[in-house]
Structure 1
Amino acid sequence: MICDRLHVDNNDILNRLLEGEPPPEWTKRPNAKDDLRERARELRLQGWTYDQIQVELGCSKSSISLWGRDLPRPERRQRTREEASAIAKRGWEAKLRLREEERQRTRAVATREIEHLSDRELFLVGVGLYWAEGAKSKPYRRQERVIFVNSDPGMITVFRAWLDLLGVERERLKFAVHVHESADVAGAEQFWADHVGIDRAALLKTTLKKHSPSTNRKNTNEGYYGCLRVDVRRGADLYRRIEGWWWGIVGEAQSRTPRTAV
């Protein structure tokens, strides 16, 4: 030890004797961040910002600031159009993620609000659903048939549950797919057959929609299965009842509407 070699037993005297002397290299312990520090300083000298260095090296901005505080600040340069576009895109993507998270939270809360669907509620929902989306007879074309066409599997599920509630036998239901000819027709047929629990061979003949190149269609991805048509055979009486139920709902709604004072 140094004390033994100098024959000094007092630490205060030893400290005064060694004052100003640099410690030998062998006493210095290697620091795991030395390489990061040097690399951060190099990048800073090249004009990189703290944010860019942080992304590149994965260390904290406070450490980068400490390591490079004696270095000159890089000149502020004008962003290129590509850089500005990339920054704007990242900001917009972050905003979209927040919107989607909020959308999912709101939908989850609303879903939990439907704790139980009574027969009466399903009955009224089904009447409104059919009158909005189902085929209707016209004064100029009297056609009292129950036909429901939709691309939303959920709508098909609710419609079939409603028919079950009304006591319509499953044997009276016939199904057919309507899909664009440019789509995966076989895949669409199998999708809808699986959804309603029948063999694909039991589907009626598929209606192919002509593809128009000039139409800017958005429903061309892998999740596109066209529409399913549900026909209720011998449905004239049911159609008349649906029409009556609907006008009954309309009448009740009108009676609830506050009348404007004259």
Structure 2
Amino acid sequence: MARVKDKEKAIQLRLTGKSYSQIKSELGVSKSTLSGWLKEYPLSKEQFGELNVVERRVESYISTCKIRKEQILKEVYDKEKKEIFPLSKRDLFVAGLFLYWGEGGKTDKGSLVLSNTNPAVIKFGVYWMENTLGVKKDKITARLHLYKDMNIDDEINFWSKELGFKKDQFSNPYIKNSNKAALTYKVGFGHGTCNIRIGNVILRNKVLMGLKAVEDHFNAKK
């Protein structure tokens, strides 16, 4: 809780034009931590001009390191994207299989269920079901897990738009007996957990036996 309050206070101070050094002195937080918290809050030219020489050097150094880090990550991103894509149908199936291993339901007897808070992960799950399992999108259903202070209609609208689902593909959401606003840590992507489901025993067996084959393969290794 104290960490969250420190971050909020740091952002407030930054918005008033305080430097990293000034915020560090007031809150006792390291500059590396502040760099992460305040990366989206650069000083304006006017605010930068009001700092003393030492503070300007610190700000310039942190800014230079941030730019260099972003350049390095962009180079790695471009390289990995080129190596990964395009995905073959087999690549796509195996990628989805491993996602299901970590995030999929194993106890639903007649269904495949995939859950996550990240819209991109659920979008991939839908694409995987459509393009490797041969499921039509309108045959996939969804259910949201939400906190009791979240607006149900707003969240269904959000996920409906993200996934390209019709409203009638969503069943009644599960509502947790706690408030999102009361939490002291970040909760996923802010729109609850989305579970997508297909009711098909044959496809369930295909996926779970595929996972069993993977498990058996690596369990057999010495």
Pick from 217, 241, 246: which aligns with 2:185? 217
Which residue number corresponds to residue 89 of structure 2?
119
Q: Deviations over 1:167-205 (max 9, x none)?
A: 234343111222334445443321210122123354222
Q: Compared with structure 1, are the counterparts of its residues 113 and 184 closer, same or farther at alpha carbon in structure 2 (3 Å cutoff)?
A: farther
2:73 to 103, 109, 115: 103
Say which structure is richer in helix.
2
The one of 141, 158, 168 equivalent to 2:124 is 158
Task: Determine if contact 2:140/2:169 at 8 Å carries over to the other structure.
Answer: no
Superposed CA offset, 1:205-225 (max 9, x none): 2233321666322248xx622
What does residue 170 of structure 2 align with?
A: 203
With the length of structure 1 as denominator, give the TM-score of the two structures.
Answer: 0.55
- Identity, % of aligned pairs? 17
- CA deviations on 1:26-75 (whole Å, 9 max, x unpaired) are xxxxxxxxxxxxxxxxxxxxxxxxxxxxx97xxxxxxxxxxxxxxxxxxx
More RCO (CA 8 Å, sep 6+): 2
Amino acid of the structure 2 residue aligned with 1:188 = E
Rg comparison, structure with higher value: 1
In structure 2, runs of 5+ residues without a counterpart are: 1-47
The 8 Å contact of residues 187 and 225 in structure 1, kept in 2 or not, is answered as no
Q: Report how far residue 253 of structure 1 moved.
A: 3.9
Contact 1:136/1:144 (CA < 8 Å) preserved in 2? no
In structure 2, relative to structure 1, the CA distance for the partners of 1:168 and 1:84 (3 Å cut) is same
Give the aligned partner of residue 129 of structure 1: 99
Partner of 2:215: 250
Structure 1 pair 203–110 and aligned structure 2 pair: CA distance change class (3 A): same
| Aligned positions, number | 172
Other-structure match for 2:42: none
Distance 1:178 1:227 in 2: 5
Aligned partners of 2:145 and 2:175 also within 8 Å: yes
Write out aligned runs for 1:39-50 (5 A).
Answer: none
Alignment-derived partner of residue 193 in structure 1: 160
Quick one: which amino acid aligns to residue 155 of structure 2?
A
**Structure 1 unaligned runs (5+)?**
1-54, 57-78
CA shift for structure 1 position 85: 6.0
Distance in structure 2 (CA, Å) of the matches to 1:214 and 1:85: 37
Q: Aligned-pair distance for 1:250?
A: 2.7
Deviates more, 1:223-232 or 1:209-218: 209-218
Q: Are the structure 2 counterparts of residues 217 and 181 from structure 1 closer, same or farther at C-alpha, using a change threshold of 3 Å?
A: farther
Equivalent-residue separation in structure 2 for 1:204 and 1:236 (angstroms): 20
SS in 2 for 1:162: helix
> What amino acid is the match of 1:104?
K
